[in-house]
Structure 1
């Protein structure tokens, strides 16, 4: 048996569990709500609405960055759903006593956790890809029906911007999901893990930014958000104030911290339930 066999077994086992209706429900919610936000943003721009939030979007709309600017307005919701999927599924293994049964057959804890996490990451990234592609197609179809010019969006520069946005969104979601893994391992409870992870994403870093703006730029969620935000126009953002290279380096450091922290905590835990 090769060293990777336990990891692959755990990966295949979790992939099978990803076929549950609750997992597809999460993907469906991500897709439906993101498409709604995308269409709502498109409608606001094309209807001539004005305001502090709409004006920067309207300025970017006819450029090669117009498509990702519209589609990107649902990013926060995608992050929340992805975080919920990861934390709920991992933490449920403690709540349901699954870890104890699994470790009887497979004592290699770290490979088991890594295999399960890789399967969850694959599911989340596939869901995100489907959501972004479907939202982009929706905007293009509606724009064509209303006679809106989309040549800039589908030009080589526009497609390059979309692929750059997509690749950075992948990095962002990987970082967020690794944070969810750490929270699930530390809390070992579905309700607590989901509550803590969502509360952290929605509240603390925003409050810290109001009182310590220069330091908050290095916190994980804000750093992960800077990566796809760097593709947007400056007035749409969020543009990384420390520069893209520094933001990417810090994001990779945070990901490493989350992985190491999760593995160390999981390896030392007394799993008896």
Structure 2
């Protein structure tokens, strides 16, 4: 496992990884700026915790202890989709390039090989998410000055608690999307097919089902992971979202490992 972990770290030390991290930071900062720009002076019409509605918040809410990481909170659900794509392509790319069999000759213990690779990827994601959080907070400080939002409550124990909680939620969300992407990549092995099926389900299909099935946010994996990212959503408690999303991720991981252990490593 340690060998595959180190090998994956070597692979991700590429300029493309740095560019991707900068893009994540820019996206988090942009989401934060737009959150402040769109903030209203009256009561919020739709809760920021409702992934199915338009995210509308107020300047007074941004001035609360939770306001310091509100923009990051908004962006973290979409970042989860990027993590899904990352894990899918990391797995299917090995099959497309024909390197999976070669790697398994060096580390025939498949479960350890897979665990090491995924641990390295998750570490990368956690570091990038932390950088994105820092960029978001920086953008929030500038935006608060422009819009006249008080920041006194941000730098309190409650404010730091919100920052830590939002970061932890984003890491859990990323891990859930990563597990789903890994399982799909191991089952399908084709990058275009895996991305097509996965993104079609997570984006249009789940949201279409949400409009016609009121219980969809409580049961569909993508919507549940989004709810974890924002600390719970309308109609879905945080505890339910975490338990269900992690449950889906665990089942996906078990099925993915089972497929990986039994199938031939060739394309």
- Shorter chain as denominator, the TM-score bin is 0.7 to 0.9
Moved over 6 A (4+): none
Deviation at residue 227 of structure 1 after TM alignment: 2.0
Q: 1:156 to 1:222 in 2, by over 3 A?
A: same
Cα shift at 1:18: 0.7
Match of 1:137 in 2: 138
Superposed counterparts of 1:39-78, under 5 Å: 39-45=33-39, 53=54, 55-78=56-79
1:202 paired residue number:
203
Uncovered stretches (5+) of structure 2, i.e. residues with no partner: 47-53
Inter-CA distance 146–213: structure 2 relative to 1 (3 Å threshold): closer
Question: How far apart are residue 145 of structure 1 and its match?
Answer: 6.2
Q: Does 1:264 align with 2:261?
A: no
TM normalised by structure 1 equals 0.86
Q: 1:172 to 1:137 in 2, by over 3 A?
A: same
SS in 2 for 1:217: helix
Task: Indicate the SS of the match to 2:201.
Answer: helix
Corresponding residue for residue 11 of structure 1: 5
In structure 2, relative to structure 1, the CA distance for the partners of 1:216 and 1:228 (3 Å cut) is closer
User: Aligned to 1:118, what secondary structure does the other structure show?
Assistant: helix
**1:61–1:173: structure 2 CA closer, same or farther, 3 Å change rule?**
same
Shift of 1:252: 2.3
Question: TM-score under structure 2 normalisation?
Answer: 0.88
Map Cα deviations across residues 196-241 of structure 1 (whole Å, 9 max, x no partner). 22222212211221222224412212222222322xxxxxx624x3
Contact 2:3 2:116 in 1 (8 A): yes
Size of the aligned set, in residue pairs, is 259
Quote the Cα distance in structure 1 between the aligned partners of 2:233 and 2:127.
Answer: 24
CA distance in structure 1 between the aligned counterparts of 2:38 and 2:97, rounded to whole angstroms = 46
Which residue of 220, 228, 233 corresponds with 1:238?
233
> C-alpha separation between the residues in 1 aligned to 2:151 and 2:165?
19
Q: Given that residues 57 and 70 in structure 1 are in contact (C-alpha distance below 8 angstroms), is that contact kept between their aligned partners in structure 2?
A: no
| CA deviation string 1:72-122 (max 9, x = no partner) | 222233112212211112210000001011112221111111111111111
Contact 2:202 2:222 (C-alpha < 8 Å) held by counterparts: yes
The CA RMSD over aligned residues, in Å, is 2.3
Alignment check: 8 A CA contact 1:30 1:81 kept: no
Unpaired runs of 5+ residues, structure 1, are 1-6, 231-236
Deviations 1:243-273 (A, max 9, x none): 3323222222112101101100111111224
